[in-house]
Amino acid sequence: MALTLQAIGQEIRRARLTRGLTQAQLAAAVHITRTTLNRLENGLVKDLGIRKVQAILEELGLALAVERTPRKAPDFLRLASAAASVSFKTALSERELLHALLTGKVPPNRRPHLRALLEEAPRALLKGLIQQVRGHSTPGKVERNLNRLAVALGLPEDSEKWLTTSD
């Protein structure tokens, strides 16, 4: 859980009151002013040094912990849409790309975009795109539609090789 300085101040207030301490007592124990402690507890402090926060927490028997947050998965549909649109005045929208992958049909005026994507995009991008779009479809449908798109775009017969996503 990510804590703001305001949330930390609220936890400090709770712990101080639980221990029966006044603001003046706690402030004196950690060598800060009562005004600073009051502002911290009331969410009015915008910045306070980590050493001061640690001293307050230690005095109250609390501690800060650092945790790794789960990494957000890349949005391959957005990335692929952007990659397909780099060289063109008009962009291939995410919606158009998703529709193409789910139907196997090239959207009007988007042949060059899809061709650029399938010929030039890194394999990792295509693999991530396929995996992401699979969630909107039945098993194997996205791969079959990609092959249909490749044929419709006149890409080489060995296109299945570079579209393969098996690990």
List alpha helices for the chain, DSSP H. Answer: 5-18, 23-30, 34-41, 50-59, 76-85, 94-103, 111-120, 123-134, 141-152, 159-163
Do residues 39 and 91 share a domain?
no
Do residues 22 and 81 share a domain?
no
Domain count, the chain: 2
Q: Are 32 and 1 in contact (CB under 8 A)?
A: no
Does the pTM of the predicted model rise above 0.85? no
- Span 24-55, pLDDT tens digits: 999 999 999 999 999 999 999 888 999 999 99
CA distance 134 to 128: 10
- Span 57-106, pLDDT tens digits: 999 999 988 888 788 889 999 999 999 999 999 999 999 999 999 999 99
**pLDDT for 167:** 43
CA distance 148 to 139: 16
67 within domain boundaries: no
150 within domain boundaries: yes
- Span 147-165, pLDDT tens digits: 899 999 998 755 555 555 4
pLDDT band per the 50, 70, 90 thresholds, residue 137: confident
pLDDT band per the 50, 70, 90 thresholds, residue 22: very high
Q: Are 102 and 141 in contact (CB under 8 A)?
A: yes
Do residues 47 and 82 share a domain?
no
118: which 2 tokens?
Answer: 């399938």
**pLDDT for 160:** 55
CATH number at residue 10: 1.10.260.40
pLDDT tops 70 at residue 1: no
* Residue 49, C-beta contacts closer than 8 angstroms, at least 6 positions apart: none
Q: 90 is in which domain, residue-wise?
A: 76-163
